[in-house]
Amino acid sequence: MYFLGIDSGTQSTKAIVLDLESGKILASGHNAYDLIEGLPPGHLEQHPQDWLNAVEASVKQCLEKLGADRAKIAGIGVSGQQHGLVALGADDKPVRPAKLWCDTSTQAQCAEMAHEFGGHPGIIALAGNAMLPGYTIPKLLWMKQNEPENFAKTTSILLPHDYINFWLSGVKRMEYGDASGMGILNVNTRQWCYEICDYIDPRVRSMLPELGSSRSVHGRLRPELAKAWGLGDNVIISAGGGDNMMGAIGTGNIKPGVVTASFGTSGTLYGVAAAPVVDGQGEVAAFCDSTDQWLPLVCTMNVTVVTEQVREMYGWDLKQLEAAVASAPVGAEGVMFLPYLNGERTPNLPNGTGVLHGLRPTNMTPANIARAAVEGATLGLAYGLKRFRDLGMNPTEVRLTGGGSKSPVWRQIVADCFNAEVVTLSTSEGAALGGAIQAAFAQANEGGAEKVSYEQLCAKLVALDESTRCKPNAENAAKYTLQLERQMELTGRLQQTGWL
Ligand SMILES: Nc1ncnc2c1ncn2[C@@H]1O[C@H](COP(=O)(O)OP(=O)(O)O)[C@@H](O)[C@H]1O
Ligand SMILES: O=C(CO)[C@@H](O)[C@H](O)COP(=O)(O)O
């Protein structure tokens, strides 16, 4: 039996076909897209139709490679960028483009809601999470206040992966993992916080679809799509989840003790927990995972955003970028790059901008700027790891996934900044693999006692690539400890003076 895993990311969609028997990835597909251009700073949006087109294109690439064997596909699992707001009208069409996880235009709405519910402590007591601009529900309040005609037309809301699931199956439903990033799920009880919903508008309750377990089957592939793609008539769609929740499954992060770091458009650090992990400072998000456990997570908004920008500025390809980073010494001869190009979530700087600090005539080289960009983005996540350690999670090994983890020089920088061993998986597409594994789990266990566990599936299907293992270099780790202090101190001071 084969399972299709789809990861709809911020920059592209990736699809893979997993053979359950051999554990091999038999085919993969990829399709890129852009953000909508020309919007004011802080407004980051995409057309949901672009995601559907990319899903279709990347799935078709896989199916072409499989040929007649495509009939062996028994299930599909979808991973999607978290938090985006897809607002649908009565005709089930988006009433406007989706506002994304990296859209920071909703600061006023976050402040208003925090004020209403007793500040960050009050909101954290209600839902487990602070109200941050990246999350979904402030986007809905923003729409009510700024586009009342679109709000009036909205009859239901979905997250990006839910919208893809809806297109695949015709069923609107949410699962706990991705729903926990909306800002209205009480992560302790896994129930909606109706106080917050009602504050936004009494109609919000009716906009929410059914909410349920991430372990169940979401629906079946629509007959029209099954026919068009040449698939069988009983292909299940699993519950799916946010890309970090699915990345957790695909990196074998299904029981406490494992920590994964993802280097994609965003940077994330997460580890499964058997109970909610609530951070009083609201920096470590208290999310649910997509196996009905919990997923404390730190997210920074500027990872490959920054490296891509530097690469484009110098007209380099990825190899040239890597060579430049490798040619500069640890610490980039004093050049520091505060990477907040799109604003930032951790630390919470919705209006943040990038800062280059420490430039001298002798160190102002493309190589140092490239190295400083990688170091700045990685130290942002090292701060997250420090917060994990504050909360009692102290990994000796971190599993890496996402596009940036393909770079050997970057991996060593991560090991040194984290002062922990790092290793990648046999595929860098952890979220897509997680989708395929979740689909295999849901298909095997549908409607009865559990026949196959996540432990069994991950033991068989998730493999570390030992050739990528990097140990921290003690001397470099010590330098990066100081570098992190400088980065956070500089950030704090600029924030205090209103420059960030
Ligand atoms: N060898 C590499 N070195 C540095 N960055 C890389 C490398 N390979 C891929 N990337 C980066 O990874 C990014 C894609 O990562 P991905 O995890 O797929 O992002 P997302 O899921 O957010 O769309 C690319 O834009 C590219 O910048
Ligand atoms: O907002 C978060 C996590 O809370 C991001 O991690 C998004 O889920 C986007 O992910 P990528 O496209 O970078 O994978």
Q: What is the pLDDT of residue 447?
A: 86
- Asked whether 308 lines ligand 2 (CB < 6 A), one says no
| Closest C-alpha among 211, 128, 165 to residue 8 | 165
What is the C-alpha to C-alpha distance for residues 214 and 220, in angstroms, rounded to an integer? 15
Q: What is the pLDDT of residue 448?
A: 85
- Asked whether 10 lines ligand 1 (CB < 6 A), one says yes
- Asked whether 403 lines ligand 1 (CB < 6 A), one says yes
Nearest ligand, CA 177: 2
Q: Which ligand 2 atom sits closest to the C-alpha of 266?
A: 13
Active site residue 243: yes
Q: What is the pLDDT of residue 449?
A: 87
Nearest ligand, CA 287: 2
Distance 372 CA to ligand 2 centre (A): 22
Distance 255 CA to ligand 1 centre (A): 27
- The domain spans of the chain are 2-251, 267-427+464-496
Q: What backbone torsions phi and psi does residue 28 show, to the nearest 5 degrees? A: -145, 155
Same fold, 2-251 and 267-427+464-496: yes
**CATH H superfamily, domain 267-427+464-496:** ATPase, nucleotide binding domain (3.30.420.40)
- Asked whether 404 lines ligand 1 (CB < 6 A), one says yes
Protein fold of 2-251 = Nucleotidyltransferase; domain 5 (3.30.420)
pLDDT digits (tens, 9 = 90+) for 46-66: 999 999 999 999 999 999 999
Measured over the CA atoms of residue 478, residue 479, residue 480 and residue 486, the dihedral's sign is positive
Distance 374 CA to ligand 2 centre (A): 18
Other C-beta atoms closer than 10 Å to the C-beta of 14 total: 25
- Write the ipTM: 0.97
Is residue 336 within 8 Å of 298, Cβ to Cβ? Answer: no
Closest C-alpha residue for ligand 2 atom 2:
82
Strands 267-270 and 285-288: unpaired
What is the C-alpha to C-alpha distance for residues 495 and 423, in angstroms, rounded to an integer? 35
Closest C-alpha residue for ligand 2 atom 10:
81
**Does residue 82 have a known ligand-binding role?**
yes
**Does residue 496 have a known ligand-binding role?**
no
Locus of tokens 């799935």: 59
- Asked whether 299 lines ligand 2 (CB < 6 A), one says yes
Question: Best substitution site from 7, 10, 11 to test ligand 1's pocket, by max atoms within 8 Å of Cβ?
Answer: 11
Q: Which residues of the chain have a pLDDT value below 50? A: none
Of 243, 279, 289, 416, which is the active-site residue? 243
- Asked whether 380 lines ligand 1 (CB < 6 A), one says no
Is residue 344 within 8 Å of 487, Cβ to Cβ? Answer: no
Nearest ligand, CA 302: 2
- Asked whether 82 lines ligand 2 (CB < 6 A), one says yes
Distance 263 CA to ligand 1 centre (A): 7
Q: What percent of the chain has pLDDT over 90?
A: 96
Q: What is the pLDDT of residue 68?
A: 97
Bond preceding residue 347 cis, omega within 30 of 0: yes
